[in-house]
């Protein structure tokens, strides 16, 4: 913070109030995310202001910063409607106003407190903008907050079956313009993503997802059997006060009080693997048998490798996994994690562009045929926006929808005009470089750039499945363009003609679950593929499809 801002902060308490440390930290985070075009979590990790706060204030600062980023476009629209004729907002003033506008619209803070704090927060940034902030925030409190509250009540009415609260549009599952407007207002998502969400999961599930969208994401863990026996996990988690709740009869636990997980050392020691329930279930669909050979494509920092091994170990023994990823630093992180997990003899990492996996000859270090090839594809991350709030308003529609405006694309489509930028992928859809001249085949064939890259990776990886072996394709996106469309396009290629779709519920790792776990999986399985939806268990939206290569 500059000296001017510090002076302004010291003198800001005109009527005895001053901006709270949590709100100042939130506005700092929002500014940093904008200035660095970064991710909230990465910026938060290095934030001294955040580190100096109490746990309660840190939680509030994170809630405000994540919310202000997740709803930024919606907040600008609301604020913009009260700014007409009032001139241009300096970016640092806009950052502070977004934080306060989010608090007014989406948190239960009394309006008078949120407005007063908002004015003081803006005064810290720019004393002369305090009057403008006062005028805008008062109108947001009087006009927009009641609109959001009413929309929320209607959505809750639909979800709980309270027809009086739901209002006249209660009947039927087809979304009309009022439904879409309510969903957009309550979730803060861009209109196009709301539209896509309803198309992908249906109106009832979209309502639940939109109601949850701005709540803190739940924390799920499962034990790494190499360091903590699954039988001892519940007592260990409960003893630390984490409030574990078992998900049906799986080995996955929801932590009802996850606050102490970070300081418990369990994650650093690789005793437990934190990952959303959806990711944990995808790993069960892809679970390798003990002793199986596995090629994991898009290994990233190794979370799924740990989950795949946990599933194999729970059934008697380790699998042999080779993970490939185009990002060298992720491979380094993954190797470190496997050492901590005592799995480095069984899981290795290779820096490789997966598009090089195709053809008769396998690249150096890669075997010719694997029992299982698991493609954890680079994707938009649209199913994980609760955890990665910057995705919602930075994801370029044209990167996932064919025929969109030029310029929104992913590297690897570089041979195709307009393919040069990257979408807002939490796990690096943006790959640097790529094999010489490797155009994404689908780019020219009607797929948008990101699905085209996914198809190219899936097709190349499929070449490494042995006859009779399995190919699992997964994304953390709900967009059909990245999911079923890619799988359908793959099955239509020469390589794909050798594969047939196999129901996820018949996967070995799923059949080994008890009745309740299998029922949970079945509830997420539509036409044989998997798409997780928020319901009894809050979770991200992930997709996976399982395919088997013909022959033995």
Ligand X SMILES: C[S@@+](CC[C@H](N)C(=O)[O-])C[C@H]1O[C@@H](n2cnc3c(N)ncnc32)[C@H](O)[C@@H]1O
Q: Which is nearer to ligand X, 151 or 270 (CB)?
A: 270
Q: Which is nearer to ligand X, 145 or 330 (CB)?
A: 330
Contact between 94 and ligand X per CB under 6 A:
no
Continuous H helices in 446-536: 449-462, 484-491, 508-511, 515-523
Per CB under 6 A, the list member of 251, 309, 353, 470 interacting with ligand X is 353
Contact between 157 and ligand X per CB under 6 A:
no
CA–CA dist 339, 334 (Å, integer): 9
CA–CA dist 496, 487 (Å, integer): 9
Q: Which is nearer to ligand X, 30 or 472 (CB)?
A: 472
Between strands 465-475 and 370-376, the pairing is parallel
Least distance (Å) between residue 355 CB and ligand X:
5
Phi and psi of 220, rounded to 5°?
-120, 145
Contact between 396 and ligand X per CB under 6 A:
no
Select from 53-61, 108-116, 156-164, 292-300 the region that touches ligand X (CB under 6 A). Answer: 292-300
Question: Binding string, 412-431, against ligand X, x = CB under 6 A?
Answer: ---------------xx--x
Beta pairing partners, 549: 499
Contact between 309 and ligand X per CB under 6 A:
no
Q: Which is nearer to ligand X, 309 or 376 (CB)?
A: 376
Select from 7-15, 254-262, 325-333, 507-515 the region that touches ligand X (CB under 6 A). Answer: 325-333
Least distance (Å) between residue 383 CB and ligand X:
11
Q: Which is nearer to ligand X, 123 or 304 (CB)?
A: 304
Taking CB under 6 A as the criterion, which residues in 192-231 touch ligand X? none
Per CB under 6 A, the list member of 218, 378, 442, 480 interacting with ligand X is 378
Least distance (Å) between residue 321 CB and ligand X:
11
Residue 476 designated active-site: yes
Per CB under 6 A, the list member of 9, 18, 304, 464 interacting with ligand X is 304
Per CB under 6 A, the list member of 190, 298, 389, 480 interacting with ligand X is 298
Helix (H/G/I), strand (E/B), else coil: 313: helix
The first and second tokens of residue 294, run together, are 């596995």
In which element (H, E) is residue 549 found? strand 543-549
Contact between 117 and ligand X per CB under 6 A:
no
Select from 15-23, 108-116, 252-260, 375-383 the region that touches ligand X (CB under 6 A). Answer: 375-383
From the number of C-beta atoms within 10 Å of its C-beta (0-12, 13-18, 19+), residue 201 rates as buried
Beta pairing partners, 296: 323, 374
Question: Rg (Cα) of the chain, in Å, rounded?
Answer: 24
Contact between 380 and ligand X per CB under 6 A:
no
Beta pairing partners, 544: 474, 530
Contact between 325 and ligand X per CB under 6 A:
yes
Least distance (Å) between residue 21 CB and ligand X:
34
Q: Find out whether 376 is annotated in a ligand binding site.
A: yes
CA–CA dist 457, 439 (Å, integer): 11
Least distance (Å) between residue 279 CB and ligand X:
7
Q: Find out whether 144 is annotated in a ligand binding site.
A: no
Q: Find out whether 162 is annotated in a ligand binding site.
A: no
Q: Which is nearer to ligand X, 28 or 376 (CB)?
A: 376
Per CB under 6 A, the list member of 9, 301, 337, 549 interacting with ligand X is 301
Contact between 457 and ligand X per CB under 6 A:
yes
User: Any residues with CB less than 8 A from the CB of 331 and at least 6 apart, and which?
Assistant: 299, 323, 325, 349, 350, 351
> Are the beta carbons of 541 and 531 closer than 8 angstroms?
yes
Question: Binding string, 517-546, against ligand X, x = CB under 6 A?
Answer: ------------------------------
Size of the site for ligand X (CB under 6 A): 22
Candidates 299, 289, 340; CA nearest to 319 is: 289
Contact between 299 and ligand X per CB under 6 A:
yes
Least distance (Å) between residue 476 CB and ligand X:
6
Contact between 454 and ligand X per CB under 6 A:
no
> How many angstroms from the chain centroid is the CA of residue 77?
24
Contact between 276 and ligand X per CB under 6 A:
no
Candidates 82, 75, 81, 125; CA nearest to 100 is: 75
Sheet containing 219-223: which strands, arranged edge to edge?
A: 244-246, 252-255, 219-223, 272-274
Written in H, E and C, the secondary structure of 32-98 is: HHHHHCCCHHHHHHCCHHHHCCCHHHHHHHHHHHHHHHHCHHHHHHHHHHCCCCCCCCCHHHHHHHH
- 389-392 long-range Cβ contacts below 8 angstroms, 24+ apart: 389/40, 389/66, 389/67, 389/69, 389/70, 390/33, 390/38, 390/39, 390/40, 390/69, 390/70, 390/424, 391/424, 391/425, 391/426, 392/70, 392/71, 392/73, 392/188, 392/189, 392/190, 392/193
Number of H helices, E strands in the chain: 26, 13
Per CB under 6 A, the list member of 354, 385, 465, 533 interacting with ligand X is 354
Select from 157-165, 296-304, 387-395, 483-491 the region that touches ligand X (CB under 6 A). Answer: 296-304
Q: Which is nearer to ligand X, 72 or 326 (CB)?
A: 326
> Are the beta carbons of 396 and 439 closer than 8 angstroms?
no
Contact between 326 and ligand X per CB under 6 A:
yes
CA–CA dist 219, 27 (Å, integer): 25
> Catalytic: which of 443, 476, 539, 544?
476
Q: Which is nearer to ligand X, 114 or 357 (CB)?
A: 357
Residues found near ligand X in the complex (CB under 6 A): 298-304, 324-327, 330, 353-355, 376, 378-379, 427-428, 431, 457
Residues annotated in a binding site: 325, 353, 376
Residues annotated in a binding site for S-adenosyl-L-methionine: 325, 353, 376
Which positions are annotated as active-site residues? 476
């Amino acid at each position: 913070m500059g000296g001017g801002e510090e002076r302004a902060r010291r003198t800001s308490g005109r009527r005895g109030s001053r901006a709270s440390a949590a709100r100042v930290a939130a506005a700092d985070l929002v500014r940093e995310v904008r200035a660095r075009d970064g991710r909230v979590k990465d910026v938060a990790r290095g934030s001294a202001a955040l580190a100096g706060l109490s746990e309660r204030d840190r939680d509030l600062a994170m809630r405000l910063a994540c919310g202000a980023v997740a709803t930024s476009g919606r907040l600008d629209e609301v604020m913009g409607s009260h700014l007409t004729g009032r001139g241009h907002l300096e970016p640092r003033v806009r950052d502070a106003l977004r934080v306060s506008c989010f608090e007014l619209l989406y948190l239960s803070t009394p309006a008078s407190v949120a407005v007063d704090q908002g004015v003081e927060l803006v005064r810290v940034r720019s004393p002369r903008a305090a009057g403008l902030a006062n005028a805008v925030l008062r109108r947001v409190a009087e006009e927009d907050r009641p609109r959001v509250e009413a929309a929320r009540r209607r959505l809750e009415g639909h979800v709980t079956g309270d027809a009086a609260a739901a209002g006249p549009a209660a009947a039927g599952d087809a979304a009309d313009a009022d439904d879409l407007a309510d969903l957009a207002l309550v979730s803060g998502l861009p209109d196009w993503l709301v539209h896509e969400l309803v198309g992908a999961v249906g109106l009832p599930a979209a309502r639940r997802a939109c109601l949850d969208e701005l709540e803190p994401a739940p924390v799920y863990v499962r034990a790494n059997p190499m360091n903590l026996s699954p039988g001892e996990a519940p007592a260990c988690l409960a003893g630390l006060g984490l409030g574990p709740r078992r998900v049906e009869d799986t080995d996955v636990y929801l932590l009802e009080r996850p606050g102490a997980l970070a300081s418990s050392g369990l994650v650093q020691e690789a005793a437990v693997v934190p990952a959303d329930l959806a990711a944990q279930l995808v790993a069960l669909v892809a679970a390798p048998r003990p002793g199986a050979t596995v090629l994991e494509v898009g290994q990233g920092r190794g979370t799924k490798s740990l989950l795949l091994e946990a599933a194999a170990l729970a059934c008697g023994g380790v699998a042999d996994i080779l993970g490939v990823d185009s990002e060298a630093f992720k491979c380094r992180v993954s190797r470190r994690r496997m050492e901590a997990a005592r799995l480095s003899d069984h899981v290795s990492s290779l820096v490789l562009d997966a598009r090089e996996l195709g053809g008769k000859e396998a690249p150096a270090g890669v075997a010719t045929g694997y029992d299982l090839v698991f493609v954890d594809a680079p994707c938009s991350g649209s199913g994980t926006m609760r955890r990665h709030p910057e995705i919602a308003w930075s994801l370029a529609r044209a990167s996932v929808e064919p025929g969109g405006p030029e310029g929104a694309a992913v590297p690897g489509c570089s041979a195709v005009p307009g393919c040069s930028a990257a979408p807002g992928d939490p796990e690096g859809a943006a790959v640097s470089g790529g094999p010489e001249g490797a155009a994404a085949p689908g780019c020219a064939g009607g797929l948008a750039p990101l699905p085209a890259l996914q198809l190219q990776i899936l097709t190349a990886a499929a070449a490494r499945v042995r006859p009779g072996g399995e190919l699992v394709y997964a994304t953390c996106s709900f967009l059909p363009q990245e999911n079923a469309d890619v799988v359908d396009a793959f099955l239509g290629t020469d390589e794909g003609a050798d594969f047939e779709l196999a129901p996820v519920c018949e996967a070995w790792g799923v059949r080994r679950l008890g009745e309740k776990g299998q029922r949970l999986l079945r509830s997420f399985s539509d036409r044989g593929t998997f798409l997780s939806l928020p319901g009894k268990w809050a979770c991200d939206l992930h997709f996976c499809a399982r395919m088997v290569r013909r022959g033995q």
